[in-house]
């Protein structure tokens, strides 16, 4: 008999062929063996650049090649010492460049790994989450709406399961999957509805499948080469700096040529001038800039990871600093997502529930008396719905080592929810009254589920029970009431009249006002349906039973984070699927709602035109009962008003809004794969304050980049000007080529890197967000670079002149003057580097705060002293030891550029642009409500 293909097999044949049990999965041991045999479940990556190629790349730079040529000439002319030293400097420079780039590259790769996908599988009989690349054929995978299918799987079970396969088949309409065998051997991919293909996305429902192919053997693997479009990791700033680099190269070359020509015209030897020119060009071109920018970004990103924010797209690090609005989900992000049912409402009765956390210990109390469940049919029904229309479960875990074997020990056990916290709270509620899922499982058999999603805001299950069938539903009361024709009142099923509806709505409103999340419960007998009815058939003519209200306390740290945002000129907006009254109560508790601020509901949004929304959007602080598609409208409207928007989301349908936002943010814990993939930033703790921390880091990184750009460029301007002015004035060379190269290597590299990891200024989060289109040289950075550069150049030359004028004709005095100029240039830069740390002046910050910088500066000073005072080095670097008078000249000339400008800025009292905290206070006082 011919071997059947995967899609032709039924569930039993599949399990047999793959040697696995669909309920208990593979054992870890077996999975390990299969991983070795089949390899990792990953698509081969594009070409990686090898470390050797990266090292050799360092020497491909045009100017470095010219310098090498020049060195060769000096070698040929017998200047061996010069030649060897220059080669040594080039090699050290190359190694430094290599280390910088290699580190940058490695950090970027590590970043990609961090956001690597995971999968839920059954191993050893338990559901566990593993890295998707550890999947092996035979693994049993559980999937739900929002998951990306991690390997090629054959469905064993499906539940209203729709999969979007456009990545593979081009078909954008999601395909309804099933688990039946398909006998036709040669059907096309698009028709293999019992297959889930790697890389495609579950958009609705749930399913269980067995992995049949992994890695490059999957359908995606077959076309992997075609789809290897790695996302650009270059930020707009990096791109602009690259352009700037090109302009600077041309400028440096032009100036260098002018220096050389002027020097030769004033009688300098051509060869010496040529070497000086090339060295100057090498020094003046900020070749290290791109690598330092990448390192600053990568290290900043690592700091963000420590603060629980994972950056998926590097460009967003920059955008973070510009964010002017954060649109945040409520549940889980602003609140703890630790739900506990505290109140119930049943046909006019108000009940309270005692007990805290997930421990199923507590009482249901009515008028201070415990309710007797036996005689309370309505309450029993409500608790059954709570327990059965539910996909979460409650588990007791034992913490201490000795108790791992599940020895019952009350003290050391904790209760955990597996699944959605809202549903978990309902399981706990039912368990408190003894209505456990275990006790019900033998009596009720689930045949169908109509899953929850954020548009429907309800969920139902079809159950077999005592020969009949039932529908149990739960959901947002306003979405459920429309489906109910009857209500359970005083133990009887009565028509759901307008008056009774009003009573339910009033009870709902009262619970919501106390910031409770409210869910309604309803049911019906399903006599006339033998088979699965459609969603619309099932969820109609329901009998309304009652309401449950659960608390979800706000996260403690969020209030402060919102205050920080306000001071930083960032507006916080809450967008939630929850009821408007609940949303408003929480918004008030957290300080999100401002005086005169507005609350809009999804219903109101639906009735507004884009223009109307644009007119109001700045005044709205809370959007309630919204559907995911509203989020996209809100983002777009805010963007039209010139805002840079950070937007959070977790569900499948949130992906378009996350993508459209300037900074799309997904939830690490509760987020779906789809939302994560659309996002630029993932919060590994789902916490709002993490967004604020990320913004702070984003601002800090950008400022650090500005700091070392300022340092490097001002230093380069200083170096070029020293040479340029000297040549124009007909002076001898103030710096010899080796000295120029030395300055470039020692003084520019290390301190600039230390600036890249500098601490932020104290008032970083008290300034307005910078404009998205702001030029890197804005806020007077360009002026600072030019002014400090000119001063450094002029005073270096002044020191040279002061020393040389003692005896213009002595070669010895020239050596001394050059040594003084060299020391002045180095010291001026090393003093200026501290000035670069502050947007105001050197006097505004503690000089010793950045230890790396102190270390870098001290090392540079020690190396300078070595070059000046260690005898064997003196002929190499053409230096002579300096005496006290020389040092006096050097230090005064080196200090003036920074200190004079510092005193100037203290005197003029210049301050950074602070946020006007009143900016968010609105004049309007109308509060629009549904």
Nearer to ligand ATP, 604 or 829 (CB): 604
Treating both helix axes as pointing N-terminal to C-terminal, what angle do 558-567 and 688-728 enclose, rounded to 10 degrees? 40
Phi-psi region of 604 (alpha: psi -120 to 50; beta: other; left: phi over 0): alpha
Nearest distance from C-beta of residue 352 to ligand ATP, angstroms: 20
Q: Tell me: does residue 101 bind ligand ATP (CB under 6 A).
A: no
Nearest distance from C-beta of residue 303 to ligand ATP, angstroms: 28
Nearest distance from C-beta of residue 469 to ligand ATP, angstroms: 20
Q: Tell me: does residue 475 bind ligand ATP (CB under 6 A).
A: yes
Task: Please provide residue 689's backbone torsions phi and psi, each rounded to the nearest 5 degrees.
Answer: -65, -25
Nearest distance from C-beta of residue 677 to ligand ATP, angstroms: 19
H-helix segments, 769-883: 781-804, 811-835, 851-869, 873-877
Nearest distance from C-beta of residue 623 to ligand ATP, angstroms: 9
Nearer to ligand ATP, 519 or 901 (CB): 519
Q: Tell me: does residue 589 bind ligand ATP (CB under 6 A).
A: no
Q: Which H, E and C letters describe 113-158, residue by residue?
A: HHCCCEEEEEECCEEEEEEHHHCCCCCEEEEECCCECCCEEEEEEE
Work out which of 168, 459, 561, 828 binds ligand ATP, going by CB under 6 A.
459
Nearer to ligand ATP, 457 or 643 (CB): 457
Nearer to ligand ATP, 100 or 473 (CB): 473
Work out which of 34, 148, 432, 457 binds ligand ATP, going by CB under 6 A.
457
Applying CB under 6 A, the site for ligand ATP has a residue count of: 21
Q: Tell me: does residue 671 bind ligand ATP (CB under 6 A).
A: no
> CA 327 to CA 316: how far, in whole Å?
16
Bridging pattern class, strands 309-311 and 152-164: unpaired
Nearer to ligand ATP, 255 or 507 (CB): 507
Nearer to ligand ATP, 101 or 539 (CB): 539
Catalytic residue among 329, 478, 673, 758: 329
Catalytic residue at 478?
no
Q: Which segment (177-185, 574-582, 776-784, 917-925) binds ligand ATP by CB under 6 A?
A: 574-582
The pair of structure tokens assigned to 803 is 């020393």
Cross-strand partners of 648: 665
Radius of gyration of the chain (CA): 35
Work out which of 213, 381, 458, 837 binds ligand ATP, going by CB under 6 A.
458
Q: Tell me: does residue 631 bind ligand ATP (CB under 6 A).
A: no
Residue nearest to ligand ATP according to CB distances in the complex: 577
Quickly count: other Cβ atoms within 10 Å of residue 528's Cβ: 8
Residues within window 505-534 making contact with ligand ATP, judged by CB under 6 A? 517, 519
Q: Which segment (451-459, 736-744, 827-835, 854-862) binds ligand ATP by CB under 6 A?
A: 451-459
Nearest distance from C-beta of residue 562 to ligand ATP, angstroms: 15
Question: Smallest Cα–Cα separation from 516: which of 622, 425, 392, 384?
Answer: 425
Question: How far from chain centre, in Å, is Cα 415?
Answer: 31
Q: Tell me: does residue 577 bind ligand ATP (CB under 6 A).
A: yes
> CA 450 to CA 437: how far, in whole Å?
19
Bridging pattern class, strands 175-176 and 152-164: antiparallel
Work out which of 197, 452, 711, 801 binds ligand ATP, going by CB under 6 A.
452
> CA 871 to CA 825: how far, in whole Å?
21
Work out which of 115, 218, 316, 422 binds ligand ATP, going by CB under 6 A.
422
Tell me the DSSP string of 346-404: ETTEEEEE---TT-S---EEETTEE--GGG-HHHHHHHHHHHHS---EEEEEE-SGGGG
Quickly count: other Cβ atoms within 10 Å of residue 805's Cβ: 10
> CA 504 to CA 481: how far, in whole Å?
9
Q: Tell me: does residue 496 bind ligand ATP (CB under 6 A).
A: no
Task: Please provide residue 166's backbone torsions phi and psi, each rounded to the nearest 5 degrees.
Answer: -60, -30
Nearest distance from C-beta of residue 772 to ligand ATP, angstroms: 26
Q: Which segment (8-16, 570-578, 598-606, 873-881) binds ligand ATP by CB under 6 A?
A: 570-578
Q: Which segment (278-286, 330-338, 605-613, 788-796) binds ligand ATP by CB under 6 A?
A: 330-338
Q: Which segment (31-39, 323-331, 776-784, 841-849) binds ligand ATP by CB under 6 A?
A: 323-331
Active-site residues, by number, are: 329
Residues near ligand ATP (CB under 6 A): 329-332, 420, 422-423, 452, 454, 457-459, 474-476, 517, 519, 576-579
């Amino acid at each position: 008999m011919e071997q059947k293909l995967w899609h032709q097999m039924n569930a039993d044949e599949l399990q047999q062929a793959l040697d696995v049990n669909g309920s208990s999965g593979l054992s870890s041991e077996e999975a390990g063996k299969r991983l070795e045999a089949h390899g990792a479940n990953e698509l081969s990556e594009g070409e990686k650049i090898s470390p050797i190629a990266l090292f050799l790349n360092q020497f491909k730079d045009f100017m470095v090649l010219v310098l090498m040529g020049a060195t060769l000439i000096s070698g040929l002319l017998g200047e061996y010492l010069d030649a060897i030293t220059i080669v040594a400097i080039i090699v050290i420079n190359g190694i430094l460049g290599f280390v910088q780039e290699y580190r940058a590259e490695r950090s970027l790769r590590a970043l990609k790994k961090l956001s690597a996908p995971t999968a839920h599988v059954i191993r050893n009989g338990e559901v566990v989450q593993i890295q998707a690349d550890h999947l092996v054929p035979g693994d049993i995978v559980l999937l739900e709406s929002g998951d990306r299918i991690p390997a090629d799987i054959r469905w064993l079970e499906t539940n209203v399961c729709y999969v979007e396969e456009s990545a593979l088949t081009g078909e954008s309409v999601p395909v309804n999957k099933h688990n039946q065998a398909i006998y036709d051997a040669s059907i096309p991919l698009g028709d293999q509805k019992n297959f889930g293909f790697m890389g495609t996305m579950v958009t609705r429902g749930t399913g269980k499948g067995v992995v049949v192919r992994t890695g490059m053997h999957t359908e995606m693997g077959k076309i992997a080469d075609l789809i290897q479009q790695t996302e650009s990791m270059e930020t707009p700033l990096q791109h602009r700096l690259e352009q700037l680099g090109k302009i600077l190269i041309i400028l440096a070359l032009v100036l260098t040529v002018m220096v050389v020509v002027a020097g030769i015209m004033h009688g300098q030897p051509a060869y010496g001038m040529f070497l000086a020119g090339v060295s100057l060009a090498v020094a003046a071109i900020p070749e290290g800039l791109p690598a330092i920018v990448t390192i600053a970004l990568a290290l900043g990103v690592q700091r963000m990871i420590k603060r629980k924010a994972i950056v998926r797209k590097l460009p967003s690090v920059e955008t973070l600093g510009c964010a002017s609005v954060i649109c945040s989900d409520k549940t889980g992000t602003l609140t703890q997502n630790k739900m506990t049912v505290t109140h119930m409402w049943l046909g006019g009765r108000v009940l309270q529930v005692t007990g805290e956390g997930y421990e199923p210990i507590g009482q249901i109390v009515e008028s201070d008396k415990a309710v007797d469940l036996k005689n309370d049919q309505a309450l029993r029904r409500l608790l059954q719905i709570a327990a059965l229309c539910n996909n979460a479960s409650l588990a007791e875990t034992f913490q201490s080592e000795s108790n791992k074997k599940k020895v019952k020990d009350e003290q050391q056990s904790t209760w955990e929810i597996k699944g959605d916290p809202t549903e978990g709270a309902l399981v706990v509620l039912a368990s408190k009254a003894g209505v456990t899922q275990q006790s019900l499982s033998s009596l009720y058999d689930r045949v169908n589920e109509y899953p929850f999603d954020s548009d429907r805001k309800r969920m139902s299950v079809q159950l077999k029970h005592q020969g009949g069938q039932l529908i149990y539903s739960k959901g947002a009361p306003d979405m459920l009431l429309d489906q109910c024709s009857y209500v359970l009142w005083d133990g009887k099923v009565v028509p759901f009249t307008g008056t009774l509806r009003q009573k339910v709505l009033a009870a709902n409103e009262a619970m919501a006002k106390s910031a409770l999340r409210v869910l309604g419960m309803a049911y019906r007998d399903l006599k006339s349906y033998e088979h699965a009815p459609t969603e619309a058939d099932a969820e109609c003519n329901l009998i309304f039973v009652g309401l449950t209200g659960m608390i979800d306390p706000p996260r403690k740290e969020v209030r402060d984070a919102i205050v920080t945002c306000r001071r930083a000129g960032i507006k916080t907006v809450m967008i939630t699927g929850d009821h408007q009254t609940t949303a408003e109560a929480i918004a008030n508790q957290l300080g999100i709602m401002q005086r005169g601020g507005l609350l809009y509901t999804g219903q109101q949004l639906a009735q507004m035109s884009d223009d109307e929304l644009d007119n109001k959007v700045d005044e709205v602080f809370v959007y309630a009962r919204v559907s995911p598609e509203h989020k996209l409208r809100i983002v777009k409207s805010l963007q039209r008003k010139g805002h840079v928007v950070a937007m959070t989301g977790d569900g499948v349908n949130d992906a378009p809004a996350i993508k459209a936002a300037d900074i799309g943010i997904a939830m690490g814990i509760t987020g779906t794969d789809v939302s994560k993939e659309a996002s630029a930033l993932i919060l590994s703790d789902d916490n709002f304050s993490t967004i604020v921390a990320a913004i702070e880091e984003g601002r800090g990184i950008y400022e650090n980049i500005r700091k070392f750009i300022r340092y490097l460029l001002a230093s380069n301007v200083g170096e070029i000007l020293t040479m340029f002015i000297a040549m124009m004035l007909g002076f001898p060379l103030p710096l010899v080529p080796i000295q120029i190269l030395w300055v470039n290597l020692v003084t520019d590299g290390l301190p600039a890197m230390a600036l890249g990891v500098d601490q932020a200024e104290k008032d970083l989060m008290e300034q307005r967000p910078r404009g998205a289109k702001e030029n890197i040289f804005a806020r007077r950075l360009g002026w600072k670079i030019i002014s400090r550069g000119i001063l450094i150049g002029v005073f270096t030359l002044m020191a040279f002149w002061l020393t040389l004028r003692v005896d213009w004709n002595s070669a010895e005095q020239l050596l001394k003057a050059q040594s003084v100029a060299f020391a002045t240039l180095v010291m001026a830069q090393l003093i200026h580097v501290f000035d670069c740390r502050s947007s105001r002046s050197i006097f505004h910050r503690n000089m010793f705060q950045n230890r790396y910088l102190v270390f870098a500066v001290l090392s540079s000073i020690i190396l300078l002293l070595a070059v000046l005072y260690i005898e064997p080095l003196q002929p190499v670097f053409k230096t002579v030891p300096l005496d006290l008078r020389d040092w006096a000249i050097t230090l005064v000339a080196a200090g003036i550029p920074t200190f004079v400008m510092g005193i100037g800025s203290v005197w003029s009292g210049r301050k950074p642009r602070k946020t006007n905290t009143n900016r968010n206070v609105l004049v309007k006082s109308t509060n629009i409500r549904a």
